[in-house]
Amino acid sequence: MFETALPDLNGKSILVTGGTGSFGKAFIRRVLKDWKPKRLIIFSRDELKQWEMQQDLSQEKYPSLRYFIGDVRDGQRLEMATRDVDYIIHAAALKQVPA
């Protein structure tokens, strides 16, 4: 496996769509471990997953975190979430698994 170099995320505002999914959570943990972002926005439509994530990654412990309820299909809400954002990590996915 190879490592891909990420840009310096210190002091940056980062939006992660699908932030409560498996890739989103792993990416957020990596950012919190390796950098000190200005804002790290977790954008997800799943309120329960956001609540569960807040139990482990609280804003008290990680003041840069922001939890933002929304769906990437809602253009107005997505536009609101992207204001003053330096990087957008698009990890949102719609999944359909046939029975």
Taking CA atoms, 23 is separated from 6, 36, 50, 99, in Å, by 15, 20, 14, 24
User: pLDDT tens for residues 26-36?
Assistant: 999 999 999 99
Instruction: Check residue 85 and give its pLDDT.
Output: 98
Give the list of residues 6+ apart from residue 85 with CB closer than 8 angstroms, or none.
13, 14, 15, 39, 41
Instruction: Give the separation between CA 55 and CA 28, rounded to whole angstroms.
Output: 15
Instruction: Check residue 92 and give its pLDDT.
Output: 85
The tokens describing 25, both together, are 């959570």
